[in-house]
Amino acid sequence: MVQIARERISALFALAEREAGGGHRDLADRYVVLARRIGTRYNVRLLPEYRELYCRGCSAYWLEGVTVRTRLRSGRRSRTCLRCGRVRRTPLGDRAAGVPSAGAPTLRAAPRSDVALVGAPTEEEPTERPDDEAEEG
């Protein structure tokens, strides 16, 4: 059940990203609300990469420059929600936010196929024609 909840949350955030990009910000916000509700219902934490994407105050899906304003100041990154005004501050530095999630898929290198040499050059042998025709005497 927890696994299903995680998949649904991922799907909802993918939908939210798509709708926000398409201009349907109300739909994107709605998907964030649903994703958060699923997380609450099944006690599933949202991935850190998802938690960066919305406002914790009003569940608005954050689009940089549209619904959120990001400022870097005195070693901190403050993101202000332009809908409800809530500010979220995260420290900058070597332990800054945006840590890659442990569940991120890793790229797997394709096995390299060695090319075999085909059609090695063969020397054409001159065919000897034995002279086996005996002369009749």
Q: Is 55 in the site for Zn ion (CB under 5 A)?
A: yes
- The reply on whether position 12 binds Zn ion by CB under 5 A is no
Of the candidate residues 4, 11, 14, 84, the single one contacting Zn ion (CB under 5 A): 84
Is position 57 an interface residue for Zn ion (rule: CB under 5 A)? yes
CB contact at 8 A, 89 and 76: yes
Residue 32 within binding range of Zn ion, rule CB under 5 A = no
Cβ atoms 39, 5 nearer than 8 A: yes
By CB under 5 A, residue 58 contacts Zn ion: yes
CA distance 7 to 21: 21
Phi and psi dihedrals of 62, rounded to 5? -90, 120
Q: How far apart are CA 31 and CA 18, in angstroms?
A: 11
Q: What are the residues whose beta carbons fall under 8 Å from the beta carbon of 2, sequence distance 6 or more?
A: 42, 43, 44
25 binds Zn ion (CB under 5 A): no
Our finding on whether 83 is near Zn ion (CB under 5 A) is yes
Query: Does residue 53 interact with Zn ion by CB under 5 A?
Result: no
Query: 12 vs 81, which CB is nearer to Zn ion?
Result: 81
User: Where along the sequence are the contacts to Zn ion (CB under 5 A)?
Assistant: 55, 57-58, 60, 81, 83-84, 86
